[in-house]
A = this chain, B = another copy of it.
Amino acid sequence: MIKFGVIGYGYWGPNVVRNLDLLDGAQVLAVCDKSPTSRKRVQKSYPGVRVTSDAAEMMSSKDLDAIAVITPVWTHYELTKAALEHGKHVFVEKPFTSSTAQAEELINLAAKKNLKIMVDHTFLFTGAVKKIKQLLKEGTLGNLYYYDSTRVNLGLFQHDVNVIWDLAPHDLSIIDHLIAETPEAVVATGQTHLNGFEDVAFITLYFPNKIIAHINVNWLSPVKVRTTLIGGEKKMLVWNDLEADEKIKIYDKGIDVKNQEGLYNLLVNYRSGDMWSPQVDRFEALSHELAYFVDCITHDKVPFNDGPAGLRVVKMLEAADQSLRKRGALVYL
C-alpha cells in the first residue's frame, strides 16, 4: 500500500485524490492546499484525510511514501526537490519544471536517492494515444510524414505562463511518445494581445527522416478544436478528441510517386480506399496512470513518463520560447 500526500487541490488535484482513493494499492493520507475553501472541500468529501496548509509539514510526514505535486509550474522544482529530499517518490503535474536545469537537477537527485519521478502526461494513458501508438508500432501508417495538431478554445488565461506552456505540453508529450525521436530544431511564432503572455502560437518541430510536427495553440478561439492529422507513407489518420464515439479514423489514402525521366513525366498515383474507425478504450486515463505509478514504485520499475520524459518536453518548451522571443528563429535542440 503506497501512502500519498497530495499538494494542490484546485482544478486537477481533486481528480488525483479521487482516483488514488479508488486504487487498491494506494491510500491518500494527507492533502495540502493554501486555500481554506479547498481544504473544506477535502474535508467534506474525505472526512478521514488530514488537511494542511503547510507543505513543509507534509514533506516531513513519516507515514507518506509519495507526494503528488498538483500545483502551478513555477512551484514544481521546489516542491519536488523537497519531497525527494525527504525520501518520497513524486508524481508531478506537467510541465515537469520551468527550466531544463531544474529538471536535470531533480532527475539526478531522484537517481541518487533511488526514488521515482512520474510526470503527469495524462494523455499518454488515453485509449486514443494507446491505439495510435499501437498502429505506429505495427507499421500500419508506414513511415511517418507529419504530425499536425490544433488545440484551440476560449481561455483559460493563465497568470504565469503563455499559451505554449499551458496547452502545448499535451502535444509535445504525445509527439515525444509517438515519434520517439529527438527533434533537431524548433520554430515558434505567436502574438500577445491581452495580458503580456502569448495567447496565439504556432510551433514547428523538425525531426530526422523528414518528419515534421506542427502545433497550433490558441486561447482566443470561438470554437473548441482538438484535432490531429497524422500522415504516413501507407495510411493517414485523423484523431478528433472531441468525438464521443469515433475519435480515430484511419484512411487508406495516400500518394505514390514514381520518378521518371524529366520533370513532367513524374507519375503520381492517388490511393483512396476505405476508412476505418477502431474502437478506443474509454477508461479514465488518470486512473490507469496512477495505477501504473503505484506499480512502478511497488516493483521498482522505471516509468516511461519519468523525469527524462518530462525533461524532453521542457527542452522543447524552452526552445519554443526562445524561438518565439526572436519571432520564429530556428532553435536547435
Contact = CB atoms under 8 A, between A and B. Distances in A.
Interface of A: 47, 145-146, 148, 150, 152, 154-155, 157, 159-160, 185, 187, 189-195, 199-200, 202, 204, 206, 210-212, 214, 216, 218-224, 229, 231, 236-238, 244-246, 249, 251-255, 257, 259, 263-264, 266, 268, 270, 272-279, 323, 326-330
Q: How many copies of the shown chain assemble into the complex?
A: 4
Contacts of A257: 157, 194-195
B255 A159 contact: no
Contacts of A210: 191-193
Given A275-B246, A330-B327, A222 B229 contact: yes
A253 B154 contact: yes
A270 B154 contact: yes
B238 A222 contact: yes
Nearest to A205: B189
Contact of A216 (B216, B249, B276): B216
Tell me if A's interface is mostly helix, strand, loop or mixed.
Answer: strand
Nearest to A256: B194
A185 B154 contact: no
A331 to B, nearest CB: 9
Interface centre among A202, A251, A272, A329 (most CB of B within 10 A): A202
A255 B194 contact: yes
A249 B249 CA distance: 12
Contact of A189 (B145, B187, B254, B272): B187
A229 to B, nearest CB: 6
Nearest to A240: B223
11 contacts: A187-B189, A187-B327, A191-B211, A194-B255, A202-B214, A206-B327, A218-B231, A223-B238, A223-B251, A274-B277, A277-B277
Given A216-B214, A220-B236, A236-B220, A200 B251 contact: no
B268 A272 contact: no
Contacts of A146: 191, 193, 200, 218, 220
